[in-house]
Structure 1
């Protein structure tokens, strides 16, 4: 049975259909973005992408085109009007026949039009869900790129802080060298600062590339360097896998699209079955007769005869009809196999994302609650020990490097956690900016 949405297509105004086609966008987008400088949080990124991305607009137009195929599929064939003019009139007892007018209408066998309408409706629904799937894919790509851009932001910030701290040590090391200290300590410090500067340059180039990719997804008119995003490390969340699998079965638009393709294939099978039934053509004939010359007193002389005709085509090419049925069945089986394959792939992708999310949660807790505090204390101790002469510069450099590595690992875990949460929510078609509908645990 067709959903109420598609049953109402034939009576709804075009403007209402257009508003319905935009309903899914409204879940993400509310206002258009006026300037790239206003792109700061994930909501603003999604709003811009869903409003302006041309690939998404192309999917929407395909869906709108598919809607227009529904009334075409359910319409009767055009009637035929035929005029025959006799160059040499046929003489009859009532007078010469001059013109013959014929009007005929072909009527397909019972069920053919409704089956074609069902197939077109199912195909339009499939494109509607393909449009939704593209929206989710775009939102996922934007969100993942957003948090990757955010990680680069933190990497640059932390690397600059680490470089600045080491530069503050330079006057202290130089003073020790002037008073007879080891020159090698100053050289090692300068080498470390140079390596950090090199890393910073690479990160800044990476920012330009990431900004350009985001600009493409957001359909920004200029290749402007986007401002840093606003984001923070997430709370650890452990979604319920079984509930998410059920949500994928029920809500994932790719699966819903394939279900509609299966429905369309079933309708095509019915069409193929009905092709072996004859169509009926009803007609009306009108013969224009001139004034009789030979026997004007003949009864009904000069009157124009008319009549009805009924024609039936004879479907005798059974091999053709059997081949059409076999083709329709094979198409249906292919969509069913594609559905099963896609469901398996989505479940595997969900399992991978859940495992990656759990690992990111573990790393967030390990670095945030334990190791970062210890590394910060180690940096303070090593700096104090160096300034008092109890240790060498290598210990300071190693402790600073270790702290930077742990800080980067923490923000890598934060970015990974957000990206996997986005992936899971798009797989199950859950609101990206909302919470999981499945059971969740905050640790």
Structure 2
């Protein structure tokens, strides 16, 4: 019952944690994609089957050793007072020491629990991968939209340049530079289209779908005003660390089983010997068969094997503890890095927001100067490039914020 409760809690934790990959304010699209991936991903199905196999082993160990049957025929019949012995039938069943079967079941159950943690880790990693691809698709498509807006903006600038060219206030070079810039943006857009197809194919592979199936993402994301508070102590409930607890428990159960296996085994048997009647004599018990109950005791006198197993289990527990501490340090480092990068993305976004407003003000000044006939298209291109840089930077900052948030959620929720 104790193991069942632990397993139930672990399952509940996963169900809750999987939802945290969908950041507040995001659409339900990501949650739907994660559910599809968890349902259809072959790797998850593989881990589920491995868990089912491990669970079934509990039934496998809940058995006794084979019952032994023997049949013998006396080629040279030994004579007894009651007659000649014709054949012999024997049956024997060895029984493990008290509590051995329960120890085997507990060990098999602990191994199944450890395997379930592996399933949980695989599902959380899959949810993390889907989320990261999702925000990468958002970044690509948001950048495509920005490029479309800037291409339209450059086309309007080109019309201004052509009008200025007619009245001698601009040169052909200005027009050509604007057209070259449009070509560059069109090229960037085409590159993003190819990137979108590649990321979309990778995401579909996680959901076990056709590589070219369209994946819908949210149209707009913004960085929230405040971030939730995180405690490094919550790292202790990460399944990657709980895995070592389950492995440690399985080793303890292995040692209990080893102690039981080092105990004697008791066997119960029955021998039946068929006796032929003596035809030349009449007396009591003439030809009476022989029935002999038997008790067997198997004692592991040479138990060096079990002592060695005890030492190995002790060393394995120390190894598990070291591995857990090492993994905890790695996860702590990853959490610190994710929080730092997410904070950096907020700082960059706010700075780019200020710069973008100032660039827009500069653009307004340049456009108003066109009315006085003093527009400088070199300055127009410079401002447009700055605006595009800041817009792209904002999109990258938003993507980084949410990507790092999914990593943080993976680590501590």
Where does residue 265 of structure 2 map in the other structure?
A: 279
Where does residue 235 of structure 2 map in the other structure?
A: 248
Measured after TM superposition, the shift of residue 228 of structure 1 is 4.4
Q: Mark the CA change 1:385 to 1:284 in structure 2 (over 3 Å): closer, same or farther.
A: farther
Q: Mark the CA change 1:300 to 1:407 in structure 2 (over 3 Å): closer, same or farther.
A: same
- TM-score with structure 1 setting the length: 0.84
Q: Does 1:320 align with 2:302?
A: no
Q: Distance in 1 between matches of 2:357 and 2:228?
A: 29
Unmatched 5+ stretches in structure 1: 9-19, 30-38, 431-443
406-415 or 140-149, larger mean C-alpha shift: 406-415
Q: Mark the CA change 1:230 to 1:283 in structure 2 (over 3 Å): closer, same or farther.
A: farther
Measured after TM superposition, the shift of residue 198 of structure 1 is 1.4
Where does residue 331 of structure 1 map in the other structure?
A: 316
Residues 274-318 of structure 1: per-residue CA shift (max 9 Å, x gap): 443322222122222232335341x32222222222222232334
Where does residue 65 of structure 2 map in the other structure?
A: 77
Unmatched 5+ stretches in structure 2: 20-26
Match of 2:205 among 216, 227, 252: 216
Measured after TM superposition, the shift of residue 27 of structure 1 is 7.9
Q: Distance in 1 between matches of 2:16 and 2:48?
A: 14
For the 8 Å contact 1:233–1:411, the answer to whether it is kept is no
Q: Distance in 1 between matches of 2:280 and 2:394?
A: 111
- Residue aligned with 2:349, SS: helix
Residues 244-269 of structure 1: per-residue CA shift (max 9 Å, x gap): x232213x112122111111111222
- Residue aligned with 1:89, SS: coil
Q: Mark the CA change 1:25 to 1:80 in structure 2 (over 3 Å): closer, same or farther.
A: farther
For the 8 Å contact 2:29–2:217, the answer to whether it is kept is no
Measured after TM superposition, the shift of residue 185 of structure 1 is 1.3
Where does residue 91 of structure 1 map in the other structure?
A: 79
Q: Distance in 2 between matches of 1:118 and 1:330?
A: 21
Q: Matches of residues 19-38 of structure 1 in structure 2 within 5 Å?
A: none
For the 8 Å contact 1:372–1:403, the answer to whether it is kept is yes
Q: Distance in 2 between matches of 1:40 and 1:204?
A: 24
Match of 2:253 among 259, 262, 267: 267
Measured after TM superposition, the shift of residue 214 of structure 1 is 0.7
Q: Matches of residues 190-229 of structure 1 in structure 2 within 5 Å?
A: 190-229=179-218
Where does residue 142 of structure 2 map in the other structure?
A: 154
Q: Mark the CA change 1:40 to 1:271 in structure 2 (over 3 Å): closer, same or farther.
A: closer
Q: Distance in 2 between matches of 1:193 and 1:61?
A: 54
Q: Distance in 2 between matches of 1:230 and 1:317?
A: 73
Q: Distance in 2 between matches of 1:236 and 1:143?
A: 21
Aligned residues: 404
Q: Matches of residues 29-68 of structure 1 in structure 2 within 5 Å?
A: 41-68=29-56
Q: Distance in 1 between matches of 2:134 and 2:160?
A: 41
Measured after TM superposition, the shift of residue 222 of structure 1 is 4.8
Measured after TM superposition, the shift of residue 85 of structure 1 is 2.7
For the 8 Å contact 2:30–2:217, the answer to whether it is kept is no
Q: Distance in 2 between matches of 1:120 and 1:70?
A: 5
Measured after TM superposition, the shift of residue 123 of structure 1 is 0.8
Measured after TM superposition, the shift of residue 144 of structure 1 is 0.8
Q: Does 1:300 align with 2:288?
A: no
Where does residue 425 of structure 1 map in the other structure?
A: 409
Q: Distance in 2 between matches of 1:75 and 1:145?
A: 48
Q: Distance in 1 between matches of 2:16 and 2:332?
A: 28
For the 8 Å contact 2:273–2:291, the answer to whether it is kept is yes
Where does residue 394 of structure 1 map in the other structure?
A: 378
Where does residue 433 of structure 1 map in the other structure?
A: none
Measured after TM superposition, the shift of residue 137 of structure 1 is 0.4
198-207 or 97-106, larger mean C-alpha shift: 97-106
What RMSD in Å do the two structures reach over aligned CA positions? Answer: 2.6
66-75 or 171-180, larger mean C-alpha shift: 171-180
Q: Distance in 1 between matches of 2:240 and 2:134?
A: 24
For the 8 Å contact 2:134–2:217, the answer to whether it is kept is no
Q: Distance in 2 between matches of 1:83 and 1:51?
A: 56
- Residue aligned with 2:204, SS: helix
Residues 83-111 of structure 1: per-residue CA shift (max 9 Å, x gap): 22334433222222223222222122234
For the 8 Å contact 2:366–2:380, the answer to whether it is kept is yes
380-389 or 355-364, larger mean C-alpha shift: 380-389
Q: Does 1:342 align with 2:350?
A: no
For the 8 Å contact 1:66–1:123, the answer to whether it is kept is yes
Where does residue 188 of structure 1 map in the other structure?
A: 177
Q: Distance in 1 between matches of 2:46 and 2:225?
A: 38
